[in-house]
Amino acid sequence: MRNITNDYRESQVLDLGTAEQRGPFLVTQTGVNPADTIPKSKMFVLRPDGCWVDFNAYASQGKPELMDELVFRTMAEVIQKFTALMGKPRILDLAVNEEGLKAWIEKQKHGNPLQAAQAWAAEYRKRHSPHAER
């Protein structure tokens, strides 16, 4: 099991865009929080504020709009963030709603996770378009 790092080579950048429009981008890394007393590999996501968080903490909330704070609008933002990350990674230990996580996992069993991510991204683009109601 590897510890989470700020090294871009240890991360995956997922383009949740379409053939017509790139982005938003999600930066993930699978590993262990070195502060955990019982090491357990998790999928972490890099937020634009430079903190890594357990993806399940967001997925378990049942509110897709909360995941908006996990994505980068452009690839340039991803590159800029990795350029600024120094030293040990900052990992936020957010609570996971166990019931919500079970519901999210159950929902993923009956569908294609990539399609679910693309559907979320389409809603994200609607919420963040210049014409969206504020």
* Largest distance between two CA atoms of the chain: 47
pLDDT value of position 103: 81
Distance CA 32, CA 93 (A): 12
Residue type, 42: K
Each residue's pLDDT tens digit, 60-105: 887 877 888 889 999 999 999 999 998 999 999 888 888 887 887 7
Note the helical H segments in 26-97: 55-59, 75-84
What are the extents of the domains in the chain? 8-127
Label residue 50 by pLDDT band (50, 70, 90).
Answer: very high
CA 2, distance to chain mean position in Å, is: 19
Distance CA 39, CA 46 (A): 19
Q: Is 24 helix (H, G, I), strand (E, B) or coil?
A: coil
Distance CA 66, CA 130 (A): 19
Contacts of residue 117, defined as CB under 8 A and 6 or more positions apart, other chains included, come to 14, 16, 26
Label residue 134 by pLDDT band (50, 70, 90).
Answer: very low
pLDDT value of position 60: 83
pLDDT value of position 56: 85
- What's the chain's average pLDDT? 84
DSSP character at residue 89: P
Each residue's pLDDT tens digit, 102-117: 887 777 676 666 666 6
pLDDT for 133 beyond 70:
no
pLDDT value of position 68: 84
Give which of 76, 73, 78 is closest to 125, Cα–Cα: 73
Strands (E), 22-131: 25-31, 42-46, 51-54, 90-92
- Greater pLDDT, 81 or 24: 81
